[in-house]
Amino acid sequence: MSIYELAVQQMEAKDIDNHCSDLYLRKNEISTRLVNEYEFKQNVTTFKDQIDHDIWYEIPFQYPKYYEEI
C-alpha cells in the first residue's frame, strides 16, 4: 500500500494536501510514523505553512490523483 493510501486510511482529510504530484502531510504522530516507515524517507522534506505556521511533510511524486488528471 502506498504512503498516500495509508495516509487516507489513518489521517483526517484536513491533514492531507498536495501540490501537483507532491503529497503533503501535516506533521503529527501518524504522519511521522508513516514517514519513518516510508521506503524513500530520505527524499522527504518539511516546510512551515505560511498561513497557520504548521509543519508539513513534502513527499515527492506520491500524490497519485495528479497522474490521473494529466
- Residue 39 included in any domain: yes
Residue 13 forms part of a structural domain = yes
**How far apart are alpha carbons 33 and 51 in whole angstroms?**
25
* Over residues 59-70, mean pLDDT: 90
Inter-residue contact 61 to 67 (CB < 8 Å):
no
Which residues does residue 46 pair with via DSSP β-bridges, in sequence order? 57
Do residues 64 and 4 make contact, with C-beta atoms less than 8 angstroms apart? yes
Q: Structural domain of residue 44, as residue ranges?
A: 3-65
Residue 24 lies in a domain: yes
How many domains is the chain partitioned into structurally?
1
Q: How far is Cα 50 from Cα 62, in angstroms, rounded to an integer? A: 22
Q: What is the mean pLDDT of residues 28-35?
A: 98
H/E element, 13: none
Residue 70 resides in a domain: no
pTM of this prediction? 0.94
Query: Looking at residue 68, what is its pLDDT?
Result: 86
